[in-house]
Structure formats: C-alpha cells, structure tokens
Structure 1
Amino acid sequence: MSSSLTPRTKFSIHSFRKSFEQAYLISLFYLVIMLDVDRFILPRTFLSILIEHAQKSAPNESVAIISGVIQDRTAITKQVFTPNNVDQSTVSFTVDPHTLLAIYNAIEEAEQQLIGIFHTHPAPPYPSGTDRRFMEVNPYVWLISSTANPEKVKGFLLQKDGSLKEIELLIQNKRE
C-alpha cells in the first residue's frame, strides 16, 4: 500500500509539529507564573472587541488571548489578541501554533504577561470538563461567555487543589 503523504505534506506536518513544539515550550515558560488573583480588570473597549469577535465567530466558539500586568492581586488588561479558532467548532477551540507563538512574542516585547484566555460556549459561561483539563496547564484567568449572550462574561481560575475560583470581573469605562 502506498502512502498518500507527498513530500510537501510531510514537510507541512513536520513544520506544524515543530511550531507546535515551540509554542508548547514557550507556554511552559509562562507556566512558571501561576496567577493568584482576586480581580480582573477589563476595559469596556476590550470587552467590546471580545463581544464583536464572539459574534463574528458564532455559532462556533471564539478564542482570545489577554495580556497585561498583575498588581495587588488584580489582573489588569493591557492587550487583547483575537486569533481564529482553527477548529471551526461549536464545542472546542484551537489557536494556530504560529499565531500563538507570535502572540507570545508580542506579549514578551510589550513586557507584559499572559493573564487570561477568553472563549465562548454554546452553554452558560462556566468551565467545561475540557476547560478544566486545559486550565491545569494554562493557569490563567479563563473568561467565558455564552454564544447566546456574549455580553455575559465570567472569569474563573483553577486553584492548586483543583477547585474553581470565580474571579471578580471589573469592567472599566476607559483604559488606564
């Protein structure tokens, strides 16, 4: 039986794996910083960007990466990145590894840190079992909204003991 993989396909798969591994290694670097916050400040302008991104992505899940700074147990949003969900799925999301690597580089260049992951659910805004598994390796605030009502956003942080902590989400009318 002959293989259906052409040299170009094999190169693409190898290239994808290599970039995925690079993005994974960078994410391991970010894991050193385990967030321990009580509040998450999100300027209304950024909330509007997230809502618009969710509406454009519907009915599929949308995803966004949020960077900023931590001060006095408060995550303060400074940038929002809205990559495409390459899964094009109503129940899952994946960010292209090349895009993820570019986002990590932009966060580092801005001297910020990754503070949150935003995504939508077809159900109410609460972490799914899959979310909880990914929260274990991505210890950031997870902001979740429903595709049915993107304006309703809730934030969650997985604790070391495996419990979920709901984070107070503060919407500010202007960026600081």
Structure 2
Amino acid sequence: MALDVYKKIFPKDAKIQPSLVIFYFGGNDSADPKFPLSPNVPLDEYVENMRKIALHIKAYVLTLECLSEKTRLIMLSSPAVNEKLVEYYGDNRGRTNERGKIYSEAGIKLDQQLGVPVIDLWSALYERPNVFRDGMHLTKEGSEIVFNKIKDVISKAEWEPSLDWNKMPNEFANIYG
C-alpha cells in the first residue's frame, strides 16, 4: 500500500523537505501468505518496494533526483514478535520470528547496499520480556528500545548539519553566560 502513497507523502516539488525520515516496514509484509487475511508481500517484492521508496526519499546515485540533499534516512528492519502473545490474542495471520528474521536480514542487506543507516529491530526485540503488548505492538519498554536505537544512530551519524541535539548550535548560548 505504501507504493500507492509515498510520492504523495514525500512530493519532490514540496517547498520544505523533511530533515529525517525513519522508514519501517516488514512486520506485516513478512506474515505467512497461507493464513487468511495475510498482509504478506513476497520477499523479492518487499525488497524492491523498499528500494523504490528509499531511492525516492534519498537517492544515493548521482543521476537520480532525491527529495533534498539534507534529508536523512534511517531504516528499521522487520521486527521480531512474541509468538505466544500473538497466538493468545488470536490475530496471528502467520507472523513468526522465523519469517520476520528472513525479511529483517533482506532489509538489512538492502540498506547496506544503499549506504543507509539501519537498525536491526528483529535482534533488538527478539525474546526480550515486556516489549510487546499483544505480541506485535510495542509496550513503553519496547518503544524505549526503539527510541534509544534511533538516538544512537543519530548521535553517531556524520551528517552535516548534525541532527544530534548535543551537536547542534545553540543560538542563545550567550544569554546565560
């Protein structure tokens, strides 16, 4: 469904472009297609869809037009799930850690090819207690893990200008001292 809207969400002719886009797909895409109402996207198609959207947001080839030279992109891999909770709440649709890991690894490989910072969300969440509310959706603790991973990528990135709040200039630094 993202292919139907990404050019509308991120139009190339917009006067103001985002400084940071965090790109996160794979949880639904990796569901087993044999289950009724499965939102599965075949692996090859998933990777190609991610490539199209990533290149639209931030082209890494000089011949392609990107949104803005200052738009940064971070990609999150397909997440792990808590299979027992997913079963308990009855909305499995074929979500398993085995399938999620395959999609996560494919996404990480693509991100490395594109030179995009990537967060291995599958490994960050796998078999961690108290990170899922219903097996798929994050609790406060799960959200804190994701937040800290994103914060780490931003703090280590060598972007100019930096998006790390510790490295940003303070226009009002002389007011108090």
Is the TM value for this pair above 0.5? no
Tell me which structure has the larger Cα radius of gyration.
2
More RCO (CA 8 Å, sep 6+): 1
Query: Going by fraction, where is strand more abundant, 1 or 2?
Result: 1
Query: Going by fraction, where is helix more abundant, 1 or 2?
Result: 2
TM-score (norm 2): 0.26
TM-score (norm 1): 0.26
